Amino acid sequence: MLVPILKQGDYLIASIQSSLADADLIRLRDQLVEQVGRYRSRGVIVDVTVLDVMDSFAVRTLSTLAQMIMLRGAETVIVGVQPDVAFAMVQLGLTLDNVKTALDLEEGLLYLNSRAKRGRSGAG
């Protein structure tokens, strides 16, 4: 299952379309890391709205994704975690602590934009 990655200005947006097997998720991670480097993107949004389960593997992979992307100077936002999925995740102890989360794509973009603004005014 291929995950489309959309380049929008400084950001990359990956919208997961269906349940992913481990190999698909790893591929998504590697592609995003590679493209962040190639396009010098400032932010990455991974939309997980359609995922009906996030287990330890998914969470671990998304965490390393965020770390690898941070090393390349960009920030990752996970958007669209469903209430039921979040509920199961916290009971498993999977809290995705080191990654920024937002309600949906719109909120994710708002967050990245506000970061960019703050970043500029901070530097200037």
Partner 1 sequence: MTSREKRTSGERTTDVLSELVAHLRHNRTILREEWVRRITESRLLTTMTKEEIFAEATSVFDNYVEVLETGSVEALQAYARNLSERIIPRGVDTPEVLGIVLLLRDVLARSLFEKYQGDFALLNRVLDAYEPAANRIATTVAVGFVQERERVIRQQQEAIRELSTPVLQVRERLLILPIIGVVDSERARQLTEQLLRGVRSNRAKVVVMDITGVPSVDATVANHLVQTVEASRLLGATVIVTGLSPEIAQTLVTIGVDLTKMNTVGDLQGGIEEAELLLGYKVMRLTESAASEASN
Partner 2 sequence: MPAERRIKIASDVDIVAARQSGREVAAILSFSSSDLTVIAAAISELARNIYAYAGTGEIVVSLEERNGRRGVRVVARDDGPGVADIALALEDGYSTSGSLGLGLPGVRRLMDEFEIQSEPGKGTVVTLWKWAR
Cα–Cα distance measured from residue 29 to residue 110, given in angstroms and rounded to the nearest whole number: 23
Task: Output DSSP code: residue 4.
Answer: P
Question: Distance between CA atoms of 110 and 57, rounded to whole angstroms?
Answer: 28
For partner 1, which stretch binds (CB under 8 A), given 17-25, 28-36, 74-82, 115-123?
Answer: 74-82
Q: Is 101 in the site for partner 1 (CB under 8 A)?
A: yes
Q: Is 91 in the site for partner 2 (CB under 8 A)?
A: yes
Report the distance separating Cα 123 and Cα 69, nearest Å. Answer: 21
Q: Which does 102 bind (CB under 5 to 8 A by kind): partner 1, partner 2, none?
A: partner 1
57 touches partner 1 by CB under 8 A: no
Binding-site size for partner 2 (CB under 8 A) equals: 24
